[in-house]
């Protein structure tokens, strides 16, 4: 489906239709496809994606603008039973987003259900009283006959404005989802320039891309114990080059050894994959240096989390 087709407005005169705009939270359990959906909707990689749960740590905004509307999507960390400080902060990011937006898209992975956890999120939605659309994601992984009972089940649990079966990865059902989202938005102004796809800084994008490569290339606790801070981001206009220095923080010396790897091979691989993707996304040559440091127990210390740029309320 061509995302440039303005299917929502094709039968209406622009003069007759009010411009609608608003903020829309994408919420759900970890690993249900929220970041993939965001990237597909805006047509640009604004959020990192990996097969591992709890990849998203911050609220990430993606912007979709067409002739008669602008949707500012807020991608959120997965809502889960959080025990330590760091995970509680991630869940708070998602709950805060629900309070602040105009409407909500609740995403469910139909191929990997967790009914008990899903119903806890529905309890949160009842309290929030925001217009909410249910997106049943990954429909390409289940039989069509399984969807109707699911739609019936959820329609009795909560007064959803719409229930839309989609496959974010295959772009199936996304236009219908956009239509339903626009219907929940009030008339309003354009918050961002029409060519913007995110309000995320280039420094943040760099840090997230490096972190994505760590998630994809390392195992067990290492990805979750890693945080990335961009120390320098300098543009050399004459050479059409960006010079970047970044530091990867981990909690233990053993984790530092894993990220560096034998003879520095793992760090080189992380750096190469990150640099190649950044050159594609930024449209310029990139010189990337990555250092690895130990900051013991950073996920448990409020002061350390603030130092690493995490929002601590």
**Mind listing the domains of the chain with CATH numbers?**
20-183 (3.40.50.300), 202-307 (3.30.300.20)
Q: Is 223 exposed, middle or buried (0-12, 13-18, 19+ CB in 10 A)?
A: buried
How many whole angstroms separate alpha carbon 227 and alpha carbon 211? 7
pLDDT for 7 equals 38
Is there a contact between 37 and 137 (Cβ–Cβ < 8 Å)?
Answer: yes
pLDDT for 5 equals 41
Is there a contact between 64 and 49 (Cβ–Cβ < 8 Å)?
Answer: no
pTM, full prediction: 0.90
Cα-Cα end-to-end distance for the chain: 41
Q: Is 125 helix (H, G, I), strand (E, B) or coil?
A: helix
Q: Split the chain (313 residues) into runs of 10 and give each run's mean pLDDT.
A: 39 64 97 96 95 92 97 95 89 94 98 95 96 98 93 96 97 98 97 95 96 96 96 94 98 98 98 97 96 96 91 70
Strand partners, 135: 107, 164
pLDDT for 313 equals 58
- Identify the DSSP state of 171: T
pLDDT for 288 equals 98
Is there a contact between 55 and 212 (Cβ–Cβ < 8 Å)?
Answer: yes
pLDDT for 148 equals 95
CA distance readout (Å), 238 to 235, 241, 242, 279, 283 = 9, 8, 11, 16, 15
The owner of tokens 């604004």 is 46
* Rounded-to-10 torsion of CA 268, 270, 275, 278: -170
Widest Cα–Cα separation across the chain: 65
Is there a contact between 300 and 86 (Cβ–Cβ < 8 Å)?
Answer: yes
């Amino acid at each position: 489906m061509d995302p440039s087709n303005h299917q929502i407005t094709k039968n209406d005169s622009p003069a007759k239709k009010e411009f609608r705009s608003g903020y829309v939270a994408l919420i759900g359990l970890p690993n249900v496809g929220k970041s993939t959906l965001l990237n597909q909707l805006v047509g640009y990689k604004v959020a990192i994606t990996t097969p591992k749960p709890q990849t998203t740590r911050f609220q990430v905004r993606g912007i979709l603008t067409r002739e008669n509307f602008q949707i500012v999507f807020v991608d959120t960390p997965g809502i889960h039973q959080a025990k330590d400080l760091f995970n509680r902060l991630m869940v708070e990011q998602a709950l805060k987003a629900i309070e602040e937006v105009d409407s909500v898209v609740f995403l469910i992975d139909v191929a990997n259900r967790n009914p008990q956890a899903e119903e806890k999120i529905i309890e949160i939605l009842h309290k929030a009283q925001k217009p909410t659309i249910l997106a049943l994601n990954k429909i390409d992984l289940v039989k069509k006959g399984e969807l109707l009972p699911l739609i019936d089940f959820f329609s009795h649990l909560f007064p959803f404005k719409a229930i839309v079966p989609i496959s974010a990865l295959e772009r199936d059902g996304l236009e219908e989802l956009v239509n339903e989202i626009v219907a929940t938005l009030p008339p309003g102004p354009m918050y961002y320039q029409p060519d913007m796809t995110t309000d995320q800084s280039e420094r943040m994008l760099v840090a997230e891309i490096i972190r994505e490569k760590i998630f994809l290339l390392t195992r067990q606790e290492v990805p979750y114990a890693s945080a990335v801070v961009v120390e320098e981001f300098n543009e050399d206009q004459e050479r059409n080059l960006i010079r970047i220095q970044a530091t990867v923080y981990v909690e233990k010396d053993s984790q530092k050894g894993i990220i560096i790897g034998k003879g520095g091979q793992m760090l080189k691989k992380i750096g190469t994959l990150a640099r190649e993707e950044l050159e594609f996304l930024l449209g310029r040559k990139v010189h990337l240096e990555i250092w690895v440091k130990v900051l013991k127990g950073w996920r448990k210390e409020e002061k350390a989390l603030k130092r690493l740029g995490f929002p601590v309320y």
